[in-house]
Amino acid sequence: MNSFRIKSTDIKNNIFIPKYYDPEIENELFRLSNNHNLIKIGTLLQNGILSISTGDEIGKMAYGTGDIPFVRTSDISNWEIKTIPKQGVSQEIFESYNEKQDIQENDILFVKDGTYLIGTNCLVSKLDLPMLYQSHIYKVRVNENELITPHLLFLLLNTEIVQKQIRSFQFTADIIDTIGNRFLEIVLPIPKNNKEALDTSFEVQQMLTDRVKYKAVIKQFPLLMEESLRNGATDNFSEFLSKDLDEILEEMIQDTITLEFGDFSTFSICSSEIKNSIIIPKYYDPSIYDELHDLEKNCELRTIGELTKSGILSLSTGDEIGKMAYGTGTIPFLRTSDFSNWEIKTDVKQGISEEIYNLYKDKEDVQSEDILLVRDGTYLVGSSCMITQYDSKSLFSGGLYKIRTNDSSYLPSYLLLGLLNSYIVKRQIRTKQFTRDVIDTIGKRLDEVLLPIPKSDQMKKIISQQVEDIVQKRIEARENIFSSAIDLMNF
C-alpha cells in the first residue's frame, strides 16, 4: 500500500501506526465474508473455544542441566520444533514447571515476541514431549467443540490474510517487537462450509503426521547412521521406517544439542602430538579416534580437505551483501539461522532484489543438491541442509559453507548429508570449533574432519536413497500444506 486516510473516530486505543489500519486487509476480509465467518481470536477465547497461556523464563542457570527441551522462539521453524533444540533442562526443573505449563499433543505454539519470528507457529506432536517453553511464546489450545479443530486453527494461522494481520498488529515494546494482547484482535476467516473445512484440516493432519514421522527419523538418524556404519548393514533403517509413529516414539532418544559435545573426563597425550599450538583438550578427544577406528572395518576414512583436494568435493563460502540489501525483494538470502531439520525455512528472514541477486548469482552458483553447512555461529556450527528445487534461486551468507559433490558415484550428495549428520562427524566438528573475536567458528578446520565413507557401493546407494526419501517426502508434505492454506480461502 502507499497512502490512505481514516477518520479520527476510527483511531483505536491511541494507536497512530498506519500499518495497523491497512485498508488492504479490511478489503480482503470483506471479500472473504461472503463464504467465511469472520471471528476474532478474542471471541473464541471468551466463549471457551480456545485457551491461551504463555511460558516461563527459567533462567540461564537451568540451561544445559539435562536433555528435556526448553523450546525458545528460534526453535520453531517450518511449522515444527527443531529435532535438537538448543537448550535442555533437568528432570527436576521440568517437574517444577510441568503442571503449570501443561503442554499436550496438538497444542499450538505461537511466537508472540521477536520481530521477524512473530507469527511463526507449530503444532506440538508426541515427538516433542516432554518439553517446556519460554515466555515469548503463546500456547493455544482448542477445546472440544464443533466449530474448529486444532489443525484447522493451525491452517488458518498460516493463511496469508492472517499473517498480514499479525504483521500489521506487531509493535515495539522496549527493545523487542511483540504482538502482545493484539493477538486477540486477529480475525480468523473460518469457512462457512464446515464440512469442506474439516475435510481439509484432516488432510493437513495427515500431511503433518508424515512430516512428524520423517522428523523422527531425522532425530534418530545419528544413531541409525552410526549403527549402520559400524555393522556394515542398512536393515536398521528399513526396520525403523516400517513401524508406525507410536512404535517409533517408544524408541526415540530425547536429546538437545549438548549431546553433540560428547562425554569425556580426563586423558593425557604426548607433547609431540600437539598440533599447530592448539592446547584445547576437546580438540584431542580420544573417544572420537577410538570410534573412528571401530568404523574402519566397513568405512574408508577420508578428510574433507583430502576430498576437496582430489576434486571429489567443492567448498566455497557465500558473501556478506550488506544490510542495505535486506528487504529489497523476495529472493532468499540464506543465513546461518535460516534452516533446520535438513531444510531451508519457508519464511527466510531476509529477501533481496533481482538486481542484487544477479550481481552474485554466478559467483555463488547455488544448485539443487548443494549442501549448506554452518561455519560460524556457536551452537549452529555444523548444522546442515540440502538445497532443493524450491531453494536454488537464492544467495547465502559468508557464515556458511556450500559443499558440492562432483563424483556422485563415489560420494552421492544425499549420502554426504547423512554423513554430516552422524554423531561421529558432528562431534568432530564440535571439537574443532573455536572462538574467533566474539563468535565461534570451525573455519578451515572443517578440512580436518574425517568422513566415514562406506566401502560397499550397495550400502552407499541404500543410505543415499533413505536420506533422499526423508528430504523429498517432508518437502512434498510442506508444499501441500501451503496449497491447503491457499485453498481454504477459496472455499
pLDDT digits (tens, 9 = 90+) for 7-32: 888 898 888 888 999 999 999 999 99
d(C-alpha 388, C-alpha 391), whole Å: 5
Amino acid 9: pLDDT: 86
Per 3-state DSSP, the chain is made up of helix, strand and coil in percentages (nearest 5) of 45, 20, 35
Nine cell digits for residue 172: 515495539
Measured from the Cβ of residue 344, the count of other Cβ atoms closer than 10 Å reads 23
Which pairing describes strands 108-111 and 88-89: parallel, antiparallel, or unpaired?
Answer: unpaired
3-state secondary structure of 25: helix
Q: Which residues of 199-233 are buried (b: 16+ CB within 10 A; e: fewer)?
A: ebbebbbebbebbbbbbbbbbbbbbbbbebbbeee
* 491 residues of the chain, pLDDT tens digit each: 568 888 888 898 888 888 999 999 999 999 999 999 999 999 999 999 999 999 999 999 999 899 899 999 999 999 999 988 888 999 999 999 999 999 999 999 999 999 789 999 999 999 999 999 999 999 999 998 888 999 999 999 999 999 999 999 999 987 889 999 999 999 999 999 988 898 999 999 999 999 999 999 999 999 999 999 999 999 998 898 888 888 888 877 665 555 555 555 677 778 777 788 777 788 888 889 899 999 999 999 999 999 999 999 999 999 999 999 999 999 999 999 898 899 998 888 899 999 999 999 999 999 999 999 999 987 889 999 999 999 999 999 999 999 999 999 999 999 999 999 999 999 999 999 998 878 899 999 999 999 999 999 999 999 999 999 999 999 999 999 999 999 999 98
Amino acid 268: pLDDT: 77
Point out the domain boundary residue: 192, 210, 235.
192
Residues 250 and 154 placed together within one structural domain of the fold? no
Amino acid 436: pLDDT: 82
The model's pLDDT over 228-282, given as tens digits with 9 standing for 90+, comes to: 999 999 999 889 888 888 888 887 766 555 555 555 567 777 877 778 877 778 8
Q: At what angle do helices 160-169 and 150-157 cross, to 10 degrees?
A: 70
User: Could you tell me the CA-to-CA distances from 159 to 244, 467, 482 in Å, in that order?
Assistant: 30, 30, 8
Structural domain contains residue 296: yes
Structural domain contains residue 328: yes
Amino acid 318: pLDDT: 96
Structural domain contains residue 484: no
Residues 82 and 152 placed together within one structural domain of the fold? yes
Structural domain contains residue 265: yes
Amino acid 211: pLDDT: 94
Placement of cell 503433518 in the chain: 208
Instruction: Give the type of residue at 351.
Output: G
Placement of cell 534461486 in the chain: 393
Residues 143 and 61 placed together within one structural domain of the fold? yes
Point out the domain boundary residue: 192, 213, 231.
192
Structural domain contains residue 208: no
3-state secondary structure of 76: strand
- Per the structure, the count of domains in the chain is 2
Residues 35 and 118 placed together within one structural domain of the fold? yes
Could you give the percent of the chain with pLDDT greater than 90? 76
Query: φ, ψ for residue 170 (rounded to 5)?
Result: -70, 150
Structural domain contains residue 275: yes
Nine cell digits for residue 137: 511464546
Residues 184 and 249 placed together within one structural domain of the fold? no
d(C-alpha 41, C-alpha 314), whole Å: 51
User: Could you tell me the CA-to-CA distances from 228 to 301, 342, 411, 446 in Å, in that order?
Assistant: 15, 20, 17, 24
Amino acid 55: pLDDT: 97
User: Could you tell me the CA-to-CA distances from 474 to 77, 123, 218, 293, 344 in Å, in that order?
Assistant: 13, 16, 11, 34, 12
d(C-alpha 119, C-alpha 107), whole Å: 15
3-state secondary structure of 364: helix
Query: φ, ψ for residue 378 (rounded to 5)?
Result: 60, -105
Residues 291 and 155 placed together within one structural domain of the fold? no
Using alpha carbons only, what angle is made at residue 208 by residues 207 and 209, rounded to the nearest 5 degrees? 90
Amino acid 340: pLDDT: 87
- Do residues 177 and 117 touch, judged by C-beta distance below 8 A? no
Structural domain contains residue 386: yes
Query: φ, ψ for residue 262 (rounded to 5)?
Result: 80, 180
Structural domain contains residue 62: yes
Region of 90 (left: φ > 0; alpha: ψ -120 to 50; beta: rest) is: beta
Residues 427 and 282 placed together within one structural domain of the fold? yes
Amino acid 262: pLDDT: 56
H-type alpha helices, 54-193: 91-101, 150-157, 160-169
Host domain of residue 157: 8-192
The CATH number of the domain holding residue 95 is 3.90.220.20
Point out the domain boundary residue: 122, 157, 192.
192
H-type alpha helices, 304-366: 304-309, 354-364
